[in-house]
């Protein structure tokens, strides 16, 4: 923590910048901690070289890079590279007899109905080579690995032009000795740092998930490494001397060095940051239970926060068979965004999405040549979006073109007039999004009506009242800057390192001293990683969790433990029974309990900036403007407020439109919105 | 000969007055979601992993009088989608005159309700303002329901009583009052009574949630509108299915295939289909199929029709999932045949037979609609059980199903190592199996040369080889496709045969019945080896591009020798042709 004194000194830079690079826009949120000044910006993403929009955007929005202390970055570079298969030439070295694990997956198929579809693994079969070795499930080394053989295959792979390599041996979670011995040989010969070892990345039982995670990490290392390199040097060239942190899928941040080594942890980086921000904003506003809905161009992402905490999922699939197993904020994605295409299907049913017009050609109203009407086109035709002031750097929207497309593709086949057709598109999209909200809450055992709803992303706030009506939610909260929420989340995310180790023992056979030593070791390692990042923390927490089950079951239950709980088997048993009771009812007496995995997370709590910085001024706002909005079968002249100018405590009755640079809020009739002390719009029914 | 003919009026239905297209689109999603939420509730609450992880369950809404499927969830097991309406109909036929609000019926009858005895069906008549409005139903695969073999997959059963205990439809709740005596009977007849209790509770809760959500929907939209939506969605499925059928050329299309044997007698059991397609109607005639057999590959009439539904949904995935799919279809099934099993014929191996039904439907329609079909998938679930005793005397049983290749299709080669078309279940990790049982896999790999040749090659099957680490164990195996390979379509070649072998007493052996055997004895170091079929090819192999062939050889999907051949000998291939 050498640099702590520097960040404390009065002349040192105090600006912290969050940057979220999405498919369409790069969002920037800058906070000057010395003055409390907040700057936000949105610039079009540069897909060919995302670091360009990043570096230019940061300079344009946050000012002189030399004045920036920390840049925190949510990125989809790794995810995009994976989806587009722009990956480095990568190889896998595995146990004889098991090179196909990566390609065989868990014997699934792409969709329930229809038997077509195929799978191309990230590493092709001819680059998956085998060496003779075998470790048994209990950790016994049945056959030791032969270093000479490993050296031979390694040289052959290098001669074949391989850039990055993954080592994956069966049962290496139970005893990594063979894998480690092979890794030593490979690393001595490999010309770069692109060596991913499955037991280092994920020492957890389940061979396909471990192999997939390690192989994807290997294939991403050169790509993400190059990107981060370009990013850092671009920033340095402009005088930036601070540190860069990268958001992980678990909602915590890591250093740029860790990100180079473990790029697989960035799979859901951007969306995770948004959820972190919402949790903090909602809790501060007095709503610890909130469901978030991020509506962007192509998708609608739903996450659930109960008692201020978002839930973590153990894994996700980036695409069919592309499984990444690393803790990540549980986010449900459906294909419903502003760019979702509306169409009448062969059975005459109106459908919206999942096909999307994306950023290019985009909705019809963008005038980029698309003829397929989208959700955004419907919002424009109904007067909810101001065509003269679209979000982002964009020319005025073409209302007539949007209207023509809806008339031809929707209104005519359904026998409706164009305005009714535009409303219908929104109704179907809203029903679809509300369905995702209901399902996410039911799957986790919650009644969505007890939650507040927080929309974010560029499009979410247009649909907030509709979501409240459809789901039966009583409170909607539109954060102060919905369009840059993920960038804001970057600024407040904690630093976090997760580690999992499979133990797979009966609780009665768990050696407490060894167990506690393992926790202590992980804690020390995690703290060392935190210290190396040169960031100041309020405090550091170690979170301990076991995956436990009764012998014979296959589903595990996550059991959080306090440090005191780890002192005896009896306390662990009690903790498990308590969790079991709340999840399933009566614990099962007399059945052996087992401990499958130990999970240790070390979290460096960063200072949360005071959201009171968002507090609106007291000055009376300018009188609202107005425009025509189509509501309930007729045009109505509706007041249009400059949202950021409204003072705290003011209440506005719907219908109304609120405009700001990064989004538009549409308040329906019979709803009212109050500006709270932190600048949120809190919406309720009248 | 038995026939099943729908009585609903043929021809285009006009849209019922009143329901506008927007409300219909919204209700379509809302109704489907009620079923999805019921699925989610059970998956989360179930005790046994077959439901919780493999999602071997399903939920839906069914017509008040006919029991026809109105709405199904998106995540349930495909085969149940067709079978559940028979279960609901069985309850209506028996109790329809005196349903009371709050009744919930429970049963596992595989003859009236379809599939096999592990599947427990719960049917809840749904009342609105004192009137029967529709039915909600839930089905889930319970872990153990008695019988001779834990888990109920008994390859030598000759009567259903050797497979499981048999529960006819009875009231679990009578007018809202729970009957603990029924639960006591269920629990007393299972080796896993706690699992039974947990799964049953999950299903009851799913029905309760479904009822609550449906009431909310009716509060919002009213009974008339929702009934109109049911009718209209059904009508649209009929219309779309008729259009799909009408687009096929009229004609007679046949496909013949065979099951290897019934587990007792080594005699092939033909599954033969003759399709007559005329205008917008289609008859699926199974008259040339085998009579009922002694072993457990019989299926009930309900299961046969459900399997047809699965095949049609795979072929036409855009048709809404309701009874309308079957409206333009007539299924002809000979009375008391292999495809119309009556009690007490054993039905535990029903999976093999329904896979063959799906295969012949694809095979026959390949001639009518080559652009819609794919080569046959691997076509067997390959149930393997290895059991023994640990050093402390406790019993261990390792039970699993294995995967194989999918057929080549008009746009790509078939998928390597997928799950069966009737299921969406995944295979357990080998590391979990090795940690739980005294075995070590010596191989878990793709099987080269197992996909049928073709313009688009069939996907590859797999090789699984298992070594016994314990001193002794016994094994049983239940599979198919050792005698008759999965066929290619549109000129594509057949896949490799299923091959099961075991190494004991110093030599490799294969079962006399091909893929079925009980009482295999193994000693430490002995091995079991399973080589599963790939999928059938699509299109003539001669049309495969030079680049694709070279790629196959480079990746080792085909051996160099194999890659140059256009066809190969692969056991017997049942005759298939247009009559």
Condensed to tens digits (0 to 9), the pLDDT of residues A68-88 reads 989 999 888 888 888 888 899
Q: CA A504 to CA A571: how far, in whole Å?
A: 18
For residue B539, the enclosing domain spans 374-579
Q: How far apart are CA B42 and CA B31, in angstroms?
A: 18
Peptide bond into B481 cis (omega under 30): no
**What is the C-alpha separation between A247 and A258, in angstroms, rounded?**
11
Angle at A22 between CA A18 and CA A23, to 5 degrees: 165
> Which candidate from B33, B320, B427 shows the least CB-CB separation from A438?
B33
How confident is the model over B283-339, as pLDDT tens digits?
A: 999 999 999 999 999 999 999 999 999 999 999 988 888 888 899 999 999 999 999
What sign does the dihedral B209-B210-B215-B217 (CA atoms) show? positive
Gap between the Cα atoms of B484 and B493, Å rounded = 13
- Banded pLDDT at B418 (limits 50, 70, 90): very high
* Range in A454-458, A599-603, B424-428 with the lowest mean pLDDT: B424-428
Give the end of a domain, one of A422, A457, A491: A491
Helices A418-443 and A464-471 pack at an angle, to 10 degrees, of: 60
Q: Quick one: A237 and A193 in the same domain? A: no
Q: Cβ contacts of residue B231 below 8 Å, gap of 6+?
A: B16
Quick check: A423 pLDDT over 90? Answer: yes
Report phi then psi at B395, rounded to 5: -85, 145
Measured CA to CA, the distance from residue A230 to residue A233 in angstroms comes to: 5
Written as six digits, the tokens of B104 are 């919930």
Does pLDDT of B33 surpass 70?
yes
User: What would the mean pLDDT of B560-566 be, rounded to a whole number?
Assistant: 53
For residue A138, the chain B residue with the least C-alpha distance is B435
Which pLDDT score is estimated for B53?
67
Q: Which residue did the predictor score with more confidence, B198 or B50? A: B198
Rounded CA Rg of chain A = 26
Q: Which residues on chain A are in Cβ contact (under 8 Å) with B444?
A: 97-98, 100-101, 104
Q: How many structural domains does chain B have?
A: 2
Q: How confident is the model at residue B575 (pLDDT cuts 50, 70, 90)?
A: very low
Is the peptide bond prior to B117 cis by the omega test (within 30 degrees of 0)? no
Specify whether the backbone of B237 is left (phi greater than 0), alpha (psi in -120 to 50) or beta.
alpha
Selection from B268, B288, B194, B471 nearest residue A584 by Cα: B194
In angstroms, the Cα distances linking B282 to A494, B85, B118, B288, B335 are: 62, 21, 33, 17, 20
Enter the DSSP assignment of A652: E
Q: Which domain holds residue A106?
A: 87-210
Q: Residue A273 has which token pair?
A: 């940051």
Q: Is residue B268 part of a domain?
A: no
Return the CATH number at A122.
3.40.50
* C-alpha to C-alpha distance for A436 and B413, rounded to whole angstroms: 34
d(CA B194, CA A588): 8
Section A205-227 average pLDDT: 96
Phi and psi, residue B70, nearest 5°: -95, -45
Average pLDDT over residues A273-288: 93
Tell me the pLDDT of chain A averaged across its residues.
90
Q: Backbone phi, then psi, for B111, in 5-degree steps?
A: -85, -45
- CA A469 to chain B, closest CA, distance in angstroms equals 11
Whether B527 and chain A come into contact, CB under 8 Å, resolves to no
Q: Is residue A537 part of a domain?
A: yes
Q: What's the gap in Å between the CA of A355 and the closest CA on chain B?
A: 15
For B164, the token pair is: 């499981």
* Cα of B213 to nearest chain A Cα, Å: 11
Residue A127's pLDDT band, with cuts at 50, 70 and 90, is very high
- Interface contact A412, partner B, CB < 8 A: no
Last residue of a domain, one of B223, B239, B255: B239
How far is residue A45 CA from its own chain's centroid?
Answer: 18
Question: What residues does A501 pair with on adjacent strands?
Answer: A598
Inform me whether the C-beta atom of residue B324 falls under 8 Å from chain A C-beta atoms: no
Contact present, A22 and A45 (Cβ < 8 Å): yes
Residue B310 lies in a domain: no
Residue A220 lies in a domain: no
Q: Kindly state whether A345 is in contact with chain B, defined as any CB-CB distance less than 8 angstroms.
A: yes
A162 and A20 inside one domain: no
pLDDT band, very low/low/confident/very high, at A6 (cuts 50, 70, 90): very low
Looking at the structure, tell me whether residues A161 and A102 fall in a common domain: yes
Confidence (pLDDT) at B298: 96
Give the three-state DSSP class for A155. helix
Tokens of B386: 């290895």
Between these two residues, A19 and A313, which has the higher pLDDT value?
A19
Residue B328 forms part of a structural domain: no
Q: What angle do CA A310, A314, A316 make, to 5 degrees?
A: 100
Helix axes A147-159, A177-189, angle to 10 degrees: 40
pLDDT of residue B579: 33
**Mean pLDDT, residues A651-671:** 94
pLDDT value at position A5?
30
pLDDT of A220 higher than 60:
yes
pLDDT at B7: 34
Question: How high is the mean pLDDT of chain B?
Answer: 89
A626 with A509, same domain?
no
Specify whether A240 is located in the same domain as A279: no
Q: State the total domains in chain A.
A: 5
A196-210, A309-323, A524-538, range with greatest mean pLDDT: A196-210
**Lookup: tokens for B506:** 């110093």
Question: In sequence order, what DSSP letters do the residues of B289-313 get, joined into one string?
Answer: SPBP-SSTT---HHHHHHHHHHHHH
Interface of A with B in 575-634 (CB under 8 A): 584-585, 588
Q: Does A206 touch chain B (CB under 8 A)?
A: yes
Q: Quick one: angle between helices B21-45 and A418-443, nearest 10?
A: 10
Q: Provide the β-strand partners of residue A44.
A: A25
Q: What is the mean pLDDT of residues B450-478?
A: 96
Residue A219 covered by a domain:
no
pLDDT at A661: 85
Q: Are residues A616 and A675 located together in one domain of the fold?
A: yes
Q: Is there a single domain that holds both residue A487 and residue A499?
A: no
CATH of the domain at A342: 3.30.420
Strands (E) across B210-302 are located at: 251-259, 269-278, 281-285
Beta-strand pair A651-653/A671-675: antiparallel
Integer Cα distance of B181 and B52 in angstroms: 26
Domain boundary among A567, A590, A605: A605
Q: Which residues in chain A have their CB less than 8 angstroms from residue B320's CB?
A: 347
Residue B329 inside a domain? The answer is no
Q: List the one residue out of B452, B317, B456 whose CA is nearest residue B379.
A: B452
Task: Tell whether A452 and A425 lie within a shared domain.
Answer: yes
**Residue B558 pLDDT class (50, 70, 90 cuts):** very high
Asked if residue B14 has pLDDT above 60, the reply is no
Q: Is residue B196 part of a domain?
A: yes
Q: pTM of the full predicted structure?
A: 0.89
Residue B273's pLDDT is 98
What per-residue confidence (pLDDT) applies to B455?
A: 97
Residue A217 lies in a domain: no
Q: Shortest Cα distance from B40 to chain A (angstroms)?
A: 5
State whether A137 and B236 contact (CB < 8 Å): no
Domain edge (last residue) among A491, A522, A550: A491
pLDDT, greater one: B53 or A383: A383
A contact residues 207-236, partner B, Cβ 8 Å cutoff: 207-209
Using the predicted structure, report yes or no on whether residue B570 has a pLDDT greater than 80: no
Output the CA–CA distances (angstroms, integers) from residue A325 to A22, A313, A553, A601, B56, in the order listed: 22, 9, 21, 15, 24
Q: State yes or no: pLDDT of A11 exceeds 50.
A: no
Rounded to an integer, the average pLDDT of A99-127 is 95
> Is B357 inside any structural domain?
no
DSSP string covering A13-77: --EEEEEEE-SSEEEEEEEETTTTEEEEEEEE--SS-HHHHHHHHHHHHH--GGGEEEEEEEE-H
Out of B179, B212, B239, a domain closes at B239
Mutation test of the interface with chain A: which of B41, B435, B535, choosing the one with the most A Cβ atoms within 10 A?
A: B435
Residue A232: pLDDT over 50? yes
Nearest to B537 by CA among B380, B352, B405, B446: B405
Number of H helices, E strands in chain A: 19, 35
Percentage of chain B lying above the pLDDT 90 cut: 71
Residue A446 touches partner B, C-beta closer than 8 Å: no
A125·B317 Cβ contact <8 A: no
Q: Considering B206, B223, B239, which residue would you say is the last residue of a domain?
A: B239
pLDDT higher than threshold 70 for residue A436: yes
Upstream peptide bond of A655 is cis (omega within 30 degrees of 0): yes
pLDDT tens per residue, range B335-364: 999 999 999 999 989 999 999 999 999 999
In a domain, B355, yes or no: no
Helix B21-45 and helix B193-221, axial crossing angle in degrees, nearest 10: 160
Size of interface A-B (CB pairs under 8 A): 194
Give the per-residue pLDDT at A561.
95
The mean pLDDT of A361-383, rounded to a whole number, is 94
A172 shares its domain with A94: yes
B385 located within any domain:
yes
Of B579 and A577, the structure prediction assigns the larger pLDDT to A577
- Asked if A141 has any chain B CB less than 8 Å from its own CB, the reply is no
d(CA A167, CA A198): 6
Q: What percent of chain A has pLDDT over 70?
A: 96
Pair (A350, A473) in one structural domain? yes
- Is B75 part of the contact surface with chain A (CB cutoff 8 Å)? yes
B residues 145..174 contacting A (CB < 8 A): none
Residue whose tokens read 């999209």: A429
A322 and A285 belong to one structural domain? yes
Of A97, A116, A345, the CB nearest to B411: A116
C-alpha–C-alpha distance, residues A642 and A155, integer Å: 65
Pair (A477, A520) in one structural domain: no
Higher pLDDT, B561 or A484: A484
* CA-based R_g, chain B, Å: 24
Alpha carbon A436 to chain centroid distance?
Answer: 17
- CA distances (Å), origin A597, targets A4, A506, A594, B532: 36, 11, 9, 33
Model pLDDT, residue A393? 65
How is residue A392 annotated by DSSP? S
pLDDT score recorded for residue B296: 93
Token digits for B561? Answer: 């020798």
For residue A565, list its beta bridge partners. Answer: none
Q: Is A7's pLDDT higher than 60? A: no
Name the nearest CA neighbour of B360 among B288, B449, B453, B455. B288
pLDDT over 70 for what percent of chain B? Answer: 93
Query: Is the pLDDT reported for residue B12 higher than 70?
Result: no
pLDDT for the residue B76: 77
Interval B236-244 mean pLDDT: 92
Contact assignment for A555 to B52 by CB distance below 8 Å: yes
CA A357/CA A371 separation, integer angstroms: 10
Give the pLDDT score at A656: 97
Inter-residue contact B556 to B515 (CB < 8 Å): no
Q: Is the pLDDT of residue A499 over 80?
A: yes
**Cβ of B400 under 8 Å from any chain A Cβ?**
no
Query: Which whole number is the average pLDDT over B256-285?
Result: 96
Substitution target in B15, B19, B21, B397 with the highest count of A β-carbons within 10 Å is: B21
Angle between helices B180-188 and B193-221 (to 10 degrees): 140
Task: Name the minimum distance, in Å, from the CA of A228 to any CA of chain B.
Answer: 33
User: Tokens 């205008």 identify what position?
Assistant: B279
């Amino acid at each position: 923590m050498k640099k702590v004194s520097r960040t404390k000194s009065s002349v040192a830079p105090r600006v912290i910048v969050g940057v979220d690079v999405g498919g369409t826009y790069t969002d920037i949120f800058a906070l000057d901690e010395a003055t409390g000044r907040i700057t936000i910006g949105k610039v079009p993403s540069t897909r060919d070289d995302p670091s360009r929009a990043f570096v230019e955007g940061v300079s344009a929005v946050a000012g002189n890079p030399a004045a920036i202390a920390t840049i925190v970055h949510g990125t989809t570079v790794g995810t995009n590279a994976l989806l587009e298969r722009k990956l480095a030439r990568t190889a896998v070295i595995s146990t004889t007899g098991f090179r196909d694990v990566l390609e065989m997956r868990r014997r699934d198929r792409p969709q329930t109905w229809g038997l077509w579809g195929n799978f191309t693994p990230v590493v092709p079969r001819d680059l998956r080579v085998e060496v003779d070795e075998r470790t048994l499930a209990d950790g016994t080394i049945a056959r030791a690995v032969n270093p000479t053989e490993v050296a031979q295959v390694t040289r052959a792979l290098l001669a074949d032009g391989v850039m990055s390599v993954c080592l994956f041996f069966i049962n290496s979670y139970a005893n990594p000795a063979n894998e480690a011995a092979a890794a030593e040989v490979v690393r001595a010969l490999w010309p770069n740092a692109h060596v991913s070892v499955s037991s280092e990345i994920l020492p957890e039982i389940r061979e396909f998930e471990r192999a997939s995670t390690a192989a994807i990490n290997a294939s991403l290392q050169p790509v993400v490494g190059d990107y981060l390199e370009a990013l850092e040097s671009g920033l340095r060239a402009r005088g930036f001397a601070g540190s860069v942190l990268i958001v992980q899928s678990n909602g915590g941040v890591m250093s740029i060095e860790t990100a180079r080594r473990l790029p697989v942890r960035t799979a859901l980086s951007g969306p995770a940051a948004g959820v972190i921000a919402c949790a903090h904003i909602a809790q501060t506003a007095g709503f610890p239970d909130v469901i978030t809905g991020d509506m962007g161009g192509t998708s609608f992402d739903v996450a659930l926060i109960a008692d201020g905490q978002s839930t973590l999922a153990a894994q996700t699939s980036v695409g069919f068979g592309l499984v990444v197993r690393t803790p990540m904020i549980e986010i449900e994605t459906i294909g419903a965004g502003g760019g979702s295409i509306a169409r009448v299907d062969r059975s005459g049913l109106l459908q919206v999405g999942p096909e999307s017009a994306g950023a290019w050609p985009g909705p019809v109203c963008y005038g980029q040549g698309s003829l397929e009407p989208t959700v955004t086109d419907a919002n424009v035709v109904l007067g909810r979006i101001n065509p003269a002031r679209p979000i982002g750097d964009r020319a005025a929207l073409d209302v007539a073109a949007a209207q023509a497309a809806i008339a031809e593709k929707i209104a005519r086949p359904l026998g409706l007039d164009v305005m009714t057709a535009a409303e219908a598109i929104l109704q179907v999209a809203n029903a679809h999004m509300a369905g995702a909200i209901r399902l996410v809450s039911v799957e986790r055992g919650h009644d969505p009506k007890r939650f507040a709803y927080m929309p974010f992303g560029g499009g979410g706030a247009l649909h907030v009242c509709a979501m409240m009506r459809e789901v039966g939610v009583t409170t909607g909260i539109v954060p102060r800057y919905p369009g840059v929420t993920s960038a804001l989340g970057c600024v407040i995310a904690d630093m976090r390192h997760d580690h999992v180790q499979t133990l797979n023992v009966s609780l009665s056979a768990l050696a407490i001293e060894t167990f506690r030593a393992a926790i202590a070791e992980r804690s020390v390692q995690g703290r060392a990683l935190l210290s190396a990042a040169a960031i100041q923390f309020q405090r550091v927490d170690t979170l301990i969790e076991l995956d436990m089950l009764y012998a014979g079951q296959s589903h595990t239950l996550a059991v959080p433990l306090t440090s005191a709980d780890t002192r005896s088997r009896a306390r662990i048993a009690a903790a498990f029974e308590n969790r079991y009771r709340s999840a399933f009812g009566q614990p099962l007496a007399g059945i052996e309990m087992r401990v499958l995995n130990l999970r240790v997370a070390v979290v460096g709590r960063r200072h949360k900036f005071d959201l009171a910085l968002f507090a609106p001024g007291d000055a009376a706002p300018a009188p609202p403007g107005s425009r025509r909005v189509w509501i309930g079968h007729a045009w109505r002249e509706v007041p249009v407020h400059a949202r950021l100018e409204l003072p705290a405590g003011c209440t506005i009755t719907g219908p109304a439109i609120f405009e700001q640079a990064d989004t538009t809020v549409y308040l329906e009739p019979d709803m009212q919105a109050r500006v709270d002390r932190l600048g949120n719009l809190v919406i309720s029914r009248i | 000969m038995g026939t099943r003919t729908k009585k609903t009026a043929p021809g285009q239905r006009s849209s019922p007055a009143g329901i506008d297209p927007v409300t219909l689109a919204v209700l379509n999603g809302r109704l489907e979601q009620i079923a999805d939420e019921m699925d989610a509730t059970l998956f989360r609450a179930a005790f046994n992993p077959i439901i919780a992880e493999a999602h071997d369950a399903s939920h839906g809404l069914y017509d008040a009088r006919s029991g026809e499927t109105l709405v199904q969830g998106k995540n349930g097991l495909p085969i149940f989608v067709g079978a559940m309406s028979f279960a609901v109909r069985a309850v209506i036929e028996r109790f329809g005159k005196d349903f009371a609000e709050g009744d919930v019926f429970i049963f596992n009858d595989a003859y009236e309700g379809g599939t096999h005895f592990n599947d427990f069906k719960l049917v809840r008549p749904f009342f609105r303002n004192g009137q029967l409005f529709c039915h909600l139903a839930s089905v889930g695969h319970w872990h153990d329901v008695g019988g001779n073999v834990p888990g109920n997959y008994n390859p030598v059963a000759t009567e259903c009583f050797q497979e499981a205990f048999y529960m006819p439809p009875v009231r679990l709740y009578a007018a809202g009052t729970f009957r603990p005596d029924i639960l006591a009977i269920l629990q007393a007849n299972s080796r896993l009574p706690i699992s039974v209790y947990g799964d049953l509770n999950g299903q009851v809760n799913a029905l309760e949630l479904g009822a609550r959500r449906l009431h909310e929907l009716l509060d919002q939209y009213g009974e008339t509108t929702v009934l109109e939506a049911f009718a209209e969605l059904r009508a649209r499925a009929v219309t779309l299915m008729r259009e799909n059928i009408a687009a096929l050329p009229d004609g007679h299309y046949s496909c013949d295939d065979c099951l290897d044997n019934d587990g007792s007698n080594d005699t092939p059991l033909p599954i033969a289909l003759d399709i007559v397609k005329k205008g917008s109607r289609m008859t699926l005639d199974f008259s040339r199929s085998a009579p009922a057999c002694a072993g457990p590959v019989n299926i009930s009439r309900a299961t046969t029709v459900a399997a047809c539904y699965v095949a049609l949904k795979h072929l036409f995935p855009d048709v809404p999932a309701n009874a309308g799919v079957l409206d333009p279809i007539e299924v002809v099934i000979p009375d008391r045949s292999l495809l119309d099993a009556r009690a007490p014929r054993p039905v535990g191996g029903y999976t093999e037979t329904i896979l063959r039904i799906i295969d012949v439907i694809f095979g026959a329609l390949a001639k009518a609609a080559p652009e819609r079909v794919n080569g046959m998938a691997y076509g067997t679930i390959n149930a393997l059980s290895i059991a023994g005793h640990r050093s402390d005397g406790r019993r261990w049983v390792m039970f699993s199903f294995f995967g194989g290749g999918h057929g080549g299709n008009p746009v790509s080669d078939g998928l390597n190592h997928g799950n069966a078309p009737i299921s969406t279940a995944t295979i357990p990790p080998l590391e979990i199996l090795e940690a739980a049982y005294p075995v070590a896999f010596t191989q878990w790999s793709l099987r080269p040369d197992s996909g049928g040749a073709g313009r688009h090659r069939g996907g590859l099957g797999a090789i699984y080889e298992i070594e016994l680490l314990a001193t002794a164990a016994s094994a049983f195996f239940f599979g198919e496709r050792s005698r008759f390979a999965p066929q290619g379509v549109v000129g594509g070649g057949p896949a490799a045969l299923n091959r099961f072998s075991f190494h004991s007493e110093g030599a490799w052996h294969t079962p006399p019945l091909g893929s079925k055997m009980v009482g295999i004895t193994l000693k430490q170091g002995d091995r079991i080896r399973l080589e599963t079929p790939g999928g059938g090819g699509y299109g003539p192999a001669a049309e495969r591009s030079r680049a694709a062939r070279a790629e196959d050889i480079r990746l080792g999907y085909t051996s160099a020798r194999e890659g140059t051949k256009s066809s190969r000998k692969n056991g017997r291939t049942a005759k298939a042709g247009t009559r």
